[in-house]
Amino acid sequence: MRVRHVPRLIPVAVLLAASVLLCAPGCGGKSAEPADTVAMEFYRNPAFPEGHRNPVDHLAYPQHPFLAPNGSSNMHCDAYMSDSYEAGGPLGLTPHVIRACYGTEWNLPVTITFDSRGRIIAYVNRWAEGIYIMLIDPETLDDLAYYALPPQRSGDLLHPLSDTSGGAYFVLDSQDRVIIADRDNAVQIIQYSDEKGRFEMVWRYSLQSYILPVVKAPLGDRVQMAAPDWEGRLWFTTRYGVVGVITPRSSLVSTMELAGEEIQNSFTIGEDGVYIVTDHALYRCHADGAGKPVIDWRTEYDRGTRVKPGMIHQGSGTTPHLFGDLVAICDNAEPRMNVLFLRRSDGREVGRLPLFNEGQSTTENAMPGLVREGGEGLEYSLIIENNYGLVRTGLYDLGGCCGASAGGVSRVDLVPDGKGGYTCREVWSSAENSCSTVPKLSLSSGLVYLHTYSWPEGAPGHGYQYYFTALDFETGKTVFRVPVGEGLWYFDMGAPVTLGTEGGTAYIGTMGGLVRIADRPSG
């Protein structure tokens, strides 16, 4: 895929400040509209039959007792942060694409979850209009109710583009309740009442006194995420290294500090502990009998020498992925990053593999994957995308934020070597440019789902395009591309692909609202 490197013609800060005066096409109403795809074409690979699906053998990911069912509870599907669904995804059968806007300016749905009635509960950043938890109809995309969260406490419009704190990583618990760390540094539990027809706050606990007194622009230390462990205690992290545990019955809070380290990714929750990746190391922690966080092990990784284009900070951009006996992350090494596999028991590395081209290799997203039984023991697979060259502040650059992105997606397998160790290899690589979104894997469809970027020859500077793209898990070949939209309003800013609970449907949060892609029913 050809990449055009282009200069910025106007200072980014000026354009961002001016952007609040602009309206997204079609925004402002409640009804969803067809996506802007007039100049785009659907593609199906003739090597695959229509409706191609190839279910993948796998071991099921465990169900966390305090979270909503797997596939419904958070940005990364489940407590193991597998980014893999049992539900089937769209097969590209007469696809139908609509988009709904929830504001008159930028409005970005980030985390999308599903309650026990199948309704969407989403975190939506409407920039100047505020931040909301919203109840959304999964078919029409109509907004049914909303709950206002504390607003941005800074005049710095770049902050939401480079900081994951403030609620984007919320989780939905087993009682359909939102557990969220808000921008006032409090943990809230919020629930929608069908009887009253509105969201209500069930519980709130301020963590302001546990925030580090660091002075870093634009907002200093912030609570980043909160989620329950397998015993029901609430864990939280802050951007600059505080790890805490709240015992719900007593509201007792205990903390520890990972001094000098920064946290930008969601943490992962296993039966054996909580896995946290900082910009220096991967940790496994547990709570002792008094509810205090304790470090079980700490494994440093190569954090490189710089914040690479596409990264938020200098360190791993991945959420730890638990499967079988292992946990996986990517590092930030030069000239190529590595995918790392470590033992859950002691943090010892058992496999690594460098990926993508030298000097153009990094990922800021979680890795879908699976574990399955093999002839010699458990075998592990991961899907890793290359986010090198993404510029989140480049919304108004020619080519947008992805104009200089390198692209590329790889599948990596780790398999037992029969001698007590493992062999790590790249199974396939694809040139598809999934510039920034969190990819997903449907285990029942055998398809990897991406939100890909294209800038066709001869297209104007803002005529770049986004597609909902499916790769075959076994071969890495592109199966189909569904047109999603053209221009900056279809940029996802790192929001995930989300698959619907009933199968055949996917959702993508974009700067212009929520996009729904679905196979059109026959008949």
For the stretch 200-219, pLDDT in tens is 999 999 999 999 987 665 66
pLDDT tens for each residue of 390-404: 998 888 899 999 999
Residues 321/83, Cβ–Cβ less than 8 Å: yes
| Two structure tokens written together for 84 | 């893999």
Q: What is the mean pLDDT of the chain?
A: 90
Q: Which residue has the higher pLDDT, 461 or 18?
A: 461
pLDDT tens for each residue of 4-61: 333 333 333 333 333 333 344 446 545 677 777 778 999 999 999 999 999 999 999 9
Distances (CA, A) of 343 to 384, 423, 495: 20, 15, 29
Give the pLDDT mean for 454-480: 94
Residues 250/290, Cβ–Cβ less than 8 Å: no
Those residues whose C-beta lies under 8 Å from the C-beta of residue 21, and which sit 6 or more positions away, are: none
The one-letter amino acid code at 16 reads L
| Two structure tokens written together for 168 | 């984007």
Q: What is the number of residues in the chain?
A: 523
The pTM (predicted TM-score) of the whole model is: 0.93
CATH class of 12-519: mainly beta
SS3 state at 490: helix
Residues 467/461, Cβ–Cβ less than 8 Å: no
pLDDT tens for each residue of 409-429: 999 999 999 999 999 999 999
SS3 state at 418: coil
Res. 469 pLDDT band, cuts 50 70 90: very high
d(CA 286, CA 209): 22
pLDDT tens for each residue of 104-120: 888 999 999 999 999 99
Cα–Cα nearest to 515, from 466, 480, 472: 466
pLDDT tens for each residue of 341-400: 999 999 999 999 999 999 999 999 999 999 999 999 999 999 999 999 999 888 889 999
**Model confidence at 244: pLDDT above 60:** yes
* Domain extents in the chain: 12-519
**Model confidence at 515: pLDDT above 60:** yes
d(CA 473, CA 456): 26
Assign residue 107 a region (left: φ > 0; alpha: ψ between -120 and 50; beta: otherwise). Answer: beta
Res. 154 pLDDT band, cuts 50 70 90: low
Residue indicated by tokens 């800060």: 13
d(CA 195, CA 34): 33
3-state secondary structure 34-94: ECCCCCCCCEECCCCCCCCCCCCCCCCCCCCCCECCCCCCCCCCCCCCCCEECCCCCCCCC
Per-residue pLDDT, 375:
92
Share above pLDDT 70 across residues of the chain, in percent, rounded to a whole number: 91
Tell me how crowded residue 462 is: count the other CB atoms within 10 A of its CB.
16
Give the pLDDT mean for 451-461: 90
CA dihedral (236, 265, 448, 332) in degrees, to 10, reads -150
pLDDT tens for each residue of 247-269: 988 889 999 999 999 999 999 99
Neighbour-count burial for 480-504, b at 16+ CB within 10 Å, e otherwise: bbbbbbbbbbbbbbbbbbbbbbebb
**Model confidence at 521: pLDDT above 60:** yes
pLDDT tens for each residue of 162-187: 677 777 899 999 999 999 999 999 99
SS3 state at 252: strand
Residue indicated by tokens 């109403």: 29
